[in-house]
Amino acid sequence: MTRKRITLSLLMGLSLLSSNVLLLKENSALAKSVTPLERTSKTSLVITQVDNSSPETGVNPESDFFKQAEAEFNVLGEYGKDLYVLYRLVEKLARANNLDERNWRFRLVNQYEINASASELNLLTFYAGLIDQLHGDYEAIACIVGHEMAHHEKNHIPLKVKLADEMERLKQEADQELLAEVQQNQKGSRNVVGGFIGGMVDRVVGTRGLASATGRTLDQSLDNMDAAERQQAQKRAKEIYEEKLAQLNQEFSAKVQEQELESDRFGYLYIARAGLDPQGCFRAMDVLNDLPTSHLPGITHPSTPERIQKLKAIQAEFSTANLVAEGKANLQNSPTPLKYAVSRDGQSIRIESRHNRNINDVL
């Protein structure tokens, strides 16, 4: 067995904030999925590429490879252990479901949010809060991993991006309308009001899941209004935005929620094919069900009780034994562990497709 040691510097934590995140912020689509981390630590990840093509006698190349991988991730401490778990799950789900034709990327954001997302090209983002809540229950974590992989596989990202762009556009429109109204009501104090209205909606509505505030001088300018004027402006900002959101809801909600249910479905199937107990999906849902907002259907997600009900229907529809058999066949076609490395974005781990080869072996 030949080993090539490559030491790569991996900026854990704040590197997640570099150029990529700035782009995401501009593209409001994904602003929700990446939030600045509070601290940064620079850690070095030693990546050893193991050539499995010449296994030593008596050695199981697969478990040998994974043991080595685990040791390398463990260099990063607790964070590395979580990364290793995610690597193993994405890797196995990819091979067991014939999703290893292309590379995957994943990252773990060290922030206590109970969330995960799929974005860009084949990028999966997981938050530490989610991993913590499901700590040790790998079938439940796998179900979330599968759900996010399904968003990519089923080509859901363009609609997500479009929805987020529309939300941003509506916020700006609402701001403009508010500005016009306030100016009409307060012709004498146009200058005071005009300066701060931009971004009002962001501030007033609270914008769960929306892009960050743009009203830089809002607080300062609010001081220049009397309390009644301020209250009135805030009330109208909320009203106007909610009217617009209702329009958006009508246009997008059904499609986006359908995609969420489709991802739940494939998340379930993916983990079953990987030989993991699909009951993990119900346990993951139980955790989501305890979140304060879970019973309110949002624009993007069906309510958790509805998602659980749909999962039960899937459970009745498929034989787990058949799914396991399908997964085994896929694994036989792709028996070699998928390699990993730090992605060239410097912020995520790349899991390499089954077609990954050395250029000298190709030519």
Cβ distance to Zn ion smaller for residue 168 or 260: 260
Are residues 299 and 245 in contact, defined by beta-carbon separation less than 8 angstroms? yes
Cβ distance to Zn ion smaller for residue 302 or 327: 302
Cβ distance to Zn ion smaller for residue 115 or 330: 115
Cβ distance to Zn ion smaller for residue 52 or 300: 300
Provide, rounded to whole angstroms, the least separation between the CB of residue 259 and Zn ion: 7
Amino acid identity, position 207: T
DSSP string, 81-116: HHHHHHHHHHHHHHHHTT--SS-EEEEEE-S--S-E
Structure tokens at 241: 């935005």
Site string for Zn ion, 281-320 (x = CB under 5 A): ----------------------------------------
Q: Give the H or E element holding residue 75.
A: none
Cβ distance to Zn ion smaller for residue 125 or 263: 263
Provide, rounded to whole angstroms, the least separation between the CB of residue 94 and Zn ion: 18
Provide, rounded to whole angstroms, the least separation between the CB of residue 132 and Zn ion: 19
H runs (alpha helix) in the chain: 19-26, 61-74, 77-96, 128-133, 138-153, 157-185, 190-194, 200-205, 218-222, 227-273, 279-289, 304-317, 320-333, 359-362
Are residues 322 and 58 in contact, defined by beta-carbon separation less than 8 angstroms? no
Are residues 150 and 266 in contact, defined by beta-carbon separation less than 8 angstroms? yes
State the number of binding residues for Zn ion (CB under 5 A). Answer: 2
Provide, rounded to whole angstroms, the least separation between the CB of residue 147 and Zn ion: 6
Among residue numbers 334 through 353, which ones bind Zn ion (CB under 5 A)?
A: none
Site string for Zn ion, 228-267 (x = CB under 5 A): --------------------------------x--x----
Q: How many CB atoms lie within 10 A of CB 237?
A: 26
Cβ distance to Zn ion smaller for residue 152 or 236: 152
Provide, rounded to whole angstroms, the least separation between the CB of residue 302 and Zn ion: 10
Among residue numbers 96 through 125, which ones bind Zn ion (CB under 5 A)?
A: none
Provide, rounded to whole angstroms, the least separation between the CB of residue 284 and Zn ion: 12
Nearest to residue 352, comparing CAs of 73, 19, 99, 152? Answer: 99
Q: Summarize as ranges the residues that interact with Zn ion (CB under 5 A).
A: 260, 263
